[in-house]
Structure formats: structure tokens, C-alpha cells
């Protein structure tokens, strides 16, 4: 429905033109109007790293750093190596009121993240698929023609190892990016409870910018795990999924 409205003649403006118009508002320091135009694009299903980055900038200028961090993270998901995104994300994080203690860096996860970051999930899936098909075809040819020398075996093993690695990376990427929901607190302050409801004990109070993984949900609450492994229930109203 939204998509058809956007395409209706009454709008009469392309996505690129709307983006340019938003940029002009930003340049004139009219951050509210710029944000409105950028969000129209997002509402109609468009996405790109620059779009999310610019939304983040608008939110920052409007004094909503929680939402700024959210959109910088969304931009970074699409373009992990963009220097501007990383710079602004770190800049915005400087204003986070709460910092987590006891955050441990998992070297294996870090290593895996480094490997999969340059690729999109679809890209990894295609690479794994091509290697897998190549492997099967070569194996079939080896059987059919009765090729049994050492060279062909070594080649097949090497290809098999590539298939295993690419499949593992694809699976990892799928798990981390799609199966596991990651989120961030966008409100200035949010209470984390021991159970899904305000009647439960308060574990701690977090501020905007704190990131977490969603493990479960119940009604209006998410069960989340923060980077320092602390868990708790948080009201959905104060967070956004990246």
C-alpha cells in the first residue's frame, strides 16, 4: 500500500530526487525536514548505507543520539568499511551515559566477523553455491571418467575445503545477521528487569547506545543479553532492532 502511494502521480518525485531534496534541507540546517524526506524513502522500502548514514546525522543534529547510533549501525551493516560511518558512530558513542563493564572480546567471533564483514549474505550464499556445484561436477566427472590419480584427489579435497569454509561462513553470517536479532537502546534511559514486567526487580538501568542480542520475547518485553553477558527484560518501547 505504502509502495503504491509513493509511486502515485501525486508524489511525482523519484527516490534519487527525494534524497537530493533532503540533502538540500540538511545543507540549509533544516534537519527536521531533511529527516522527514529521508524517512519517507525508508518507509517505502528503500535502503542504502548513505541513506541510513544521513538519517543518523539528522537524528544527531535533532538531539536524539540514540536513534543516531541505531542508524549508523544499520548503515554499517550495509557498508562495514565506510570510514565516515565508523567515525560518526564512535563520535556519537562518546555521549553515551552508560558504559558496560566486563565486556569480553571473543577472539573467534571477532575473527569470523572480520571474514564475513566484506560480504552480504546473498553474496556469500552465491559463492558457497558456486563452489559446491563446481565440487559436485568435478566429483561426478572424476567418477564417470574413472580418473583416479593423486592430483585429482588433491584438487577435489582442496575444493571441498573451500566449500566447507564458504558454507560455514554463510551459515555464520545467516545466524548472526538474520537469526539473531540485534538491537540498541534508543531512549535516554531504560530499565532492565529480572522478568517481563515492571513488577520485577530492576537489574540495572541502561542509557542510549547500549547494544544487545534478543534471546526471547514476551508481550511488550524482550529478553536481551548485553555485551558484558548481563541479561534482563527490557520494554520494546525503549529499543529498536538494528
Partner 1 sequence: MIRKLIFIFIFSFVWSSSFGQDEVSIDMFISPDTIGLDGQAMLAIVVKSEHQNLPTPHIPNLSMFDVTPAGTSTNISIVNGAVESSQAYNYILVPKRQGTYNFKPASLVYNRKRYESNEVMLTVLKAGQSTPKSIEKAATDDRTGENRDVFLAAQLDKERVYVNQQVTLTIKFHHAVRLLSQPDYTPPQISDFWSETLEPQRSYTETISGRRYNVIELNTALFPTRSGKLTIGGAMASVQVPDQSGGRSRDPFRMFDSFFDRGVTRTVRSQPLTLEVLPLPAEKKPEDFSGTVGNFTISAVADKTTVEVNQPITVTYKINGTGNIKTVAEPNIEESNDFRVYRASSDEKVSKIQGVVGGTKIFEETYIPKRAGKLVIPGVELNFFDPAARRYKRIASEPITITAKPSELGAYADLPVPNVAGRVIDPNSKDIRYIKTDPGDLEKEQPLILLTPLYLALNGVPLLLLAAVWVTRKRQEKLASDIGYARSRAAKKMARKRLAKARKMAKSAKPGEFYAEIRMAMFSYIADKLNISPHGMTGEQLIDIVSDSGADETTIESIRSLLRNADFAQYSSANIDAAKIQDSLDKAEEVLVKLEGIKFG
Distance CA 112, CA 122 (A): 17
Give the contacts of 161 (CB within 8 A, at least 6 positions apart). Answer: none
- The nearest distance, CB 132 to partner 1, in angstroms, is 6
Taking Cα atoms as reference points, which of 47, 81, 88 lies closest to residue 67? 88
Q: From the CB of 210, what's the least distance to partner 1, in Å?
A: 14
Task: Compare residues 174 and 231 and give the one whose CB is closer to partner 1.
Answer: 174
Q: Which residue has the cell 527536521?
A: 32
Q: How far is the CB of 146 from partner 1 (least distance, A)?
A: 8
- Which residue's CB is nearer to partner 1, number 119 or number 132? 132
206 φ, ψ (degrees, to nearest 5): -110, 155
d(CA 219, CA 237): 11
Task: Name which of 16 and 215 has its Cβ closer to partner 1.
Answer: 16
Q: What gap in Å lies between CA 70 and CA 68, rounded to an integer?
A: 5
| Of 115 and 156, CB closest to partner 1 | 156
Smallest gap, in angstroms, from Cβ of residue 168 to partner 1?
Answer: 14
Min dist. Cβ of residue 228 to partner 1 (A):
19
* CB neighbour list of residue 217: distance below 8 Å, 6 or more residues apart: 223, 236
Q: Which residues bind partner 1 (CB under 8 A)?
A: 15-16, 19-20, 23, 26-27, 41, 45-51, 53-54, 57, 60-63, 65, 68, 79, 84, 87-88, 90-92, 94-97, 121-122, 125-126, 129, 132-133, 136-137, 139-140, 143-144, 146, 170, 174, 178
Cβ atoms of 35 and 58 closer than 8 Å: yes
Query: Which lies closer to partner 1 via its Cβ, residue 56 or residue 196?
Result: 56
Amino acid at each position: 500500500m505504502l509502495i503504491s502511494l509513493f509511486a502515485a502521480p501525486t508524489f511525482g518525485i523519484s527516490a534519487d530526487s527525494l534524497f537530493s531534496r533532503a540533502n538540500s534541507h540538511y545543507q540549509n540546517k533544516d534537519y527536521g525536514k531533511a529527516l522527514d524526506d529521508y524517512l519517507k524513502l525508508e518507509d517505502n522500502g528503500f535502503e542504502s548505507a548513505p541513506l541510513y548514514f544521513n538519517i543518523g546525522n539528522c537524528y544527531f543534529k535533532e538531539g536524539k543520539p540514540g536513534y543516531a547510533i541505531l542508524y549508523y549501525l544499520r548503515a554499517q551493516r550495509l557498508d562495514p568499511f565506510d570510514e565516515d560511518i565508523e567515525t560518526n558512530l564512535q563520535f556519537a558513542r562518546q555521549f553515551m551515559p552508560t558504559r558496560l563493564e566486563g565486556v569480553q572480546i571473543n577472539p573467534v567471533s571477532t575473527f569470523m566477523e572480520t571474514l564475513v564483514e566484506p560480504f552480504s549474505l546473498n553474496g556469500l550464499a552465491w559463492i558457497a553455491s558456486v563452489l559446491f556445484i563446481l565440487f559436485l561436477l568435478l566429483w561426478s566427472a572424476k567418477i564417470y571418467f574413472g580418473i583416479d590419480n593423486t592430483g585429482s584427489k588433491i584438487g577435489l579435497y582442496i575444493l571441498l575445503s573451500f566449500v566447507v569454509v564458504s558454507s560455514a561462513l554463510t551459515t555464520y553470517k545467516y545466524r548472526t545477521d538474520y537469526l539473531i536479532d540485534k538491537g540498541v537502546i534508543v531512549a535516554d534511559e531504560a530499565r532492565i528487569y529480572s522478568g517481563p514486567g515492571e513488577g520485577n526487580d530492576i537489574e540495572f538501568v541502561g542509557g542510549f547506545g547500549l547494544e544487545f542480542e534478543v534471546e526471547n520475547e514476551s508481550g511488550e518485553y524482550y529478553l536481551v543479553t548485553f555485551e558484558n553477558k548481563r541479561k534482563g527484560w527490557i520494554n520494546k518501547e525503549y529499543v529498536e532492532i538494528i
